[in-house]
Amino acid sequence: MKDLGTLTYFLGSEVHNIASGVFLNQHKYAQDLISLVGLQDSSSVHTPLELNVKYHREEGDILPDPSMFRQLVGNLNYVTITQPDISFAVQQVSQLIQAPCHLHFVAIHRIIRYLLEASTHGLFFPSGSSIRLTTLCDSDWAGCPDTRRSVTGWCMFLEESLISWKSKKQDHVSKSSTEAKYRSMSTACSKVVCLRGLLAEIGFSQSHPTPLHADNTNKGFITLPHVSSDLQIAAAFTKSMARQSIQFLVCKLMLLDPSTSI
């Protein structure tokens, strides 16, 4: 085995070791993606999706060759490894790969134009932070215009460090927003149990119940403290957001630009 020194680049992810912690982003990968579609001279946008936009499966003329659309969806899915702020947008266009239309391709371009400025952002893991697990979860209700199924969103932190997140359409139609939120909590709870077990196996057992920030209370190894809608970070994984909300999300998820923030 050969020692190659300090890790700086791995499978498209750039690793920056600094005094205050470790920073990960995919700036070069995102810039290559921008160049692939010829948008490097385009104007950037402040949000990956238009506010309150809903895309139908059949919306105008179908693309004669969907291969590029599908490739870009795959590329953007890979970018979400270090940029959770585009997770919901990518989840939305991922639903359209079977028969994408020209309007759907415009949506792909908007996400990429968002990366013109946001690609320098990434995940920051501060050194010396504790290993207390915290979770937030949310859902919309009947957000899919074709199936009326809701979208679950959750994100998990070890203290301030974001370590896991998801934006996913629910498997069943919920009859109310309350049912949709409980389905979201159920999914998040399953992930919490898995993560607690993994942390215990590697020597970081959780000595306290894991807070699951949602709209209910319970007792056990998971607690459910209420969090207001304005502060619900997981909402970003269930709907499109305004510019101010995206900026708040980027701050709370510790998506930093190392040249200006650290």
Question: Are residues 89 and 67 part of one domain?
Answer: yes
- 135: domain range? 129-254
Please identify, among 118, 146, 163, the residue that sits at the C-terminal boundary of a domain: 118
**Using an 8 Å Cβ cutoff, are 170 and 183 in contact?**
yes
Q: In this predicted structure, what is the pLDDT of residue 217?
A: 44
Q: In this predicted structure, what is the pLDDT of residue 12?
A: 86
Question: Are residues 209 and 142 part of one domain?
Answer: yes
Question: Are residues 133 and 113 part of one domain?
Answer: no
Q: Higher confidence at residue 81 or residue 251?
A: 81
Domain assignment of residue 85, yes or no: yes
High-pLDDT (> 70) share of the chain, %: 94
Given a cut of 80, whether residue 107 has pLDDT beyond it is yes
Question: Are residues 110 and 141 part of one domain?
Answer: no
Domain assignment of residue 108, yes or no: yes
Given a cut of 90, whether residue 60 has pLDDT beyond it is no
Reported pTM: 0.80
Query: How wide is the angle at C-alpha 63 spanned by C-alphas 41 and 118, nearest 5°?
Result: 35
How many domains, in total, are found in the chain?
2
Please identify, among 58, 87, 118, the residue that sits at the C-terminal boundary of a domain: 118
Q: In this predicted structure, what is the pLDDT of residue 113?
A: 97
Given a cut of 90, whether residue 86 has pLDDT beyond it is yes
Question: Are residues 220 and 171 part of one domain?
Answer: yes
High-pLDDT (> 90) share of the chain, %: 56
Token pair 């809608």 in the structure block, residue = 229
Question: Are residues 221 and 195 part of one domain?
Answer: yes
* pLDDT tens figures, 27-46: 999 999 999 999 999 999 99
Q: In this predicted structure, what is the pLDDT of residue 85?
A: 93
Which 3-state string (H, E, C) describes the chain? CCCCCCCCEECCEEEEEECCEEEEECHHHHHHHHHHCCCCCCCCCCCCCCCCCCCCCCCCCECCCCHHHHHHHHHHHHHCCCCHHHHHHHHHHHCCCCCCEHHHHHHHHHHHHHHHHHCCCEEEEECCCCCCEEEEEEECCCCCCCCCCCEEEEEEEECCEEEEEEEEECCCCCCCHHHHHHHHHHHHHHHHHHHHHHHHHCCCCCCCCEEEECCCCCCCCEECCCCCHHHCHHHHHCCCCCHHHHHHHHHHCCEECCCCCC
pLDDT band at 116, cuts 50/70/90? very high
**Using an 8 Å Cβ cutoff, are 38 and 108 in contact?**
no
* pLDDT tens figures, 207-253: 898 998 886 544 445 566 777 777 777 877 787 888 888 888 778 77
Given a cut of 90, whether residue 198 has pLDDT beyond it is yes
Q: What is the mean pLDDT of residues 37-66?
A: 91
Domain assignment of residue 4, yes or no: no
Q: Which CATH number is 221's domain given?
A: 3.30.420
* pLDDT tens figures, 152-164: 999 999 988 999 9
Q: In this predicted structure, what is the pLDDT of residue 215?
A: 60
Question: Are residues 217 and 143 part of one domain?
Answer: yes
